[in-house]
Chain A
């Protein structure tokens, strides 16, 4: 096209005017940007939840080592890792598991994944070595599930290098059974997100693993080497663009402690190669079969829809969860799943890069989504690189809120561009109950406003006081444990499921809590947030509703309804048996 002045103006204006799909500077990250919405006047409603970081007093003082403190050379050092709430000893109190990385020049003293046993008094004890979980490497994600249905939750950890399956022996220890289980890969891969999921509904948890990038120290370029090694004109670690994307894997549980790679026959490995990150497996189209959503970085995110016959079809773009609302690729990292508008369907929230808004996707109940980021006013916030997140009622007012952690991925950029600080605060989007959110800052407490370079985070009730606390991975620092102090009289209920015909962990179950004229949906998932695993006890805030009914769609296909359940308690439901006694939890 001849470049007339008119053409230039239109080109320039189109470039500038593509307000939600600006193709910005050459860089390794998807360049989709969005203009933040103007913030409205605060609602003035008090937020009855306050987060305080109690990590230090709880005993969580060991730093999560991950990459160089400055002058990072490879993207491997920048991505970070996840964490988990896991009741590894079945005493009814959530223990904590934190992954850890290393450094290029060698494993620092004390660097290791860590398991912390809950002492039930607000403190934790490091039982890593005793549990047999001491390990150091470039850990990525953790997913939790009882893959052998022995009643004890197991751990699968992904790595750059070799993923690991840790079988919970039931006696406080774990055994690395990766090879025995058939999950050992000959060549090093960069394992990213993972999820246990019973995709074929045979009662055994299978395993889906996403892979990020095909990375090798020998071939990886260094900062500034090419256009994928720059961000806003500053040399940074390269990628993911420019590096070959990963392929994803599905392993079928053979029911005997071993797995078979069914990536090809299931159709999973035939999906477009992408930079896979967090994995969430849930029945998004409510047909009784679990689907698998993979947040992808700088590429269309993937939605594998279960065909009920051992195969999946990838439908992310058609169903509106792969791209921005104008068809642009985004840097998708973490995923929260919940029901923000309490219509009984599972919605998704995906965290994105700075200068872009994290995306909220409303599910119409058929597994088709509309992006409602702007309509919900989540788009007031575009300053931070978002990582882990959850859609959960933080203040028990009956409306699921959104909590997100952040942290820059290019720590050196701060020197030249102070607006892109390396450490940034958390974000709380409080649900106003009218399908919109307002972002809170100081009102949510110092645990939210403190700035860290965070990555994974897990949500759960470590002190069993009926609310949701947050465990956060901070790179090269001690983690945060944000204790949620909820005031007010908002009711709540927690639901713990035990599968019988279904897998023991009930992963894949969909739970509806009917509270008055409201219905909120949640799912039992093996991973969400960023590379992390939440407390499997589903927390529902109820506001002023004191009695609810609980409807459970078990992974086996069975449906169960438990009417007239009183609020403010944990109910444990065993498949086919109704409510059974809790482990280690008393009524408040």
Chain B
């Protein structure tokens, strides 16, 4: 919804681009093309009427002129301009179309028609703009308009090229820049996206929302220090909001400054104590630093204020699992499910808690029970497949077939669920379906290039397939990933959260 709104806003903004120039160009062009004196007089008269904003008069003059010169492309175009000025877009489009039938490369008609279609949000603008850009490849307005249309239709791959070609035209167009940046994010071109959102921040340096957007992208691009720097002006500005604090906390944590991450998050919680996300964030930090009880204590504070927040029970349950307090975890997952039956995470978590308790059979039973009511849930399907794989199901057995079909269905329902692809690759390897395993490994790596397991399995699968050319490169990649993971683990475990003096849980605002 947000993107479509931006697209419409973009459209309105960019649609103005051609209008003043277009009219002048059209009129000048028409003057230039006037072949004979009488046609020239007529064009002159029509143009004067247009300049005088006497649009009805201009329309009447074009009708008279067309009686004698029905194939005069300039007059048709001027008629189009006149109609569009009166708001009669239907009449305008008809006139432009007539002009283009007579002269398909006639730029003023192309511009006029494209603009009208664009403003109407019609896909019919696309061929017009495309044609225009073939004739005038460096037209930034044409590129910008086409970019917005492509963005709106979800064709980011096509859109980004046009956004780039629009160049400086976008520098003052916030919504267009947002659209551009969003497309780059979708295409995982995060460096370029960062650059685009830096332009939006340059437009509105004091706008916290713009800075948060940029910081979010910088975090996605694994540049947490830059993200923190982006947020600093707001943080130091005085009137900081909890969303900004939350994001800053993520940035500090990613940058390895856990102490600051925790203090910033605590600040956010104090500002917005009823926001469950903040407690979940804290749980995540506690989890990462093996400080499970501290995480539980903080989540407990959240639950006391938001006793109906399913996510908090889920978070606490996960932390209980790490402490091997499976009964408490089970109770929390049940509660989460009761509060929000539509989500499947708690069911999956229950299954995994049973796995942690070394009870694979119970884990499977739990997940299957939930699957009975949610047969299309990709997460549950993945967990079922994974549990079966861990039970050592043998190829050719019904359980093995179930594992494969579960994993396949999971990835069909959610193609980005990389762990499901990893399990599927494993099962294919076991079954000797090497090419299928290779395919799944590649897709898993497309979602998560840092997935060591998929890199390893791809090496094994390629070796079995006798295709060794890629293996040396993959071995290097695996070594790099292992080193990176080890480094991250060392950084993460530098800190452990401990309870200081417990400050009272934040009270709900009166």
Contacts and interface: CB of A to CB of B under 8 A. Distances in A.
Nearest to A319: B463
Interface string B300-321: 0000000000010011001001
B148 interface: no
Interface in B64-84: none
Contact of B456 (A2, A272, A326, A368): A326
Q: Which of A9, A317, A326, A375 has the most CB of B within 10 A?
A: A9
A227 B459 contact: no
Nearest to B485: A23
A424 B247 CA distance: 49
A377 B489 contact: no
Contacts of A326: 422, 426, 453, 456-457
A356 to B, nearest CB: 13
Interface stretch (B51-59, B117-125, B383-391, B401-409): B383-391
Please report whether the interface of chain B is mostly helix, strand, loop or mixed according to DSSP.
helix
Contacts of A1: 219-220, 250, 254
Nearest to B321: A16
A2 B250 contact: yes
Given A14-B419, A318-B471, A7 B463 contact: no
Contact of A318 (B283, B284, B453, B475): B475
A14 B420 CA distance: 11
B394 interface: yes
Nearest to B352: A16
B318 A13 contact: yes
A16 B355 contact: yes
A5 B348 CA distance: 15
Interface stretch (B128-136, B150-158, B200-208, B356-364): B356-364
B475 A327 contact: no
A20 interface: yes
B493 interface: yes
A374 B287 CA distance: 29
A182 interface: no
Given A1-B220, A23-B489, A227-B493, A38 B361 contact: yes
B374 to A, nearest CB: 16
A79 to B, nearest CB: 22
A323 B390 CA distance: 17
A227 B490 CA distance: 8
B485 to A, nearest CB: 8
B277 A4 contact: yes
A17 B352 contact: yes
Contacts of A18: 419
Given A19-B389, A328-B452, 15 more contacts: A2-B220, A3-B280, A9-B314, A9-B315, A14-B419, A16-B321, A16-B355, A35-B355, A36-B358, A227-B494, A325-B426, A326-B422, A327-B478, A374-B390, A379-B392
Interface of B: 216, 219-220, 247, 250, 253-254, 276-277, 280-281, 283-284, 287, 290, 311, 314-315, 318, 321-322, 345, 348-349, 352-353, 355-356, 358, 360-361, 379, 383, 386-387, 389-392, 394, 419, 422, 426, 430, 452-453, 455-457, 459-460, 463-464, 471, 475, 478-479, 482, 489-490, 492-494
27 contacts: A1-B254, A5-B277, A5-B280, A9-B314, A9-B345, A9-B349, A13-B345, A16-B318, A16-B352, A17-B355, A35-B355, A35-B360, A37-B390, A38-B360, A233-B290, A272-B479, A317-B456, A317-B459, A318-B475, A319-B463, A326-B422, A326-B457, A327-B457, A374-B391, A375-B392, A375-B394, A377-B392
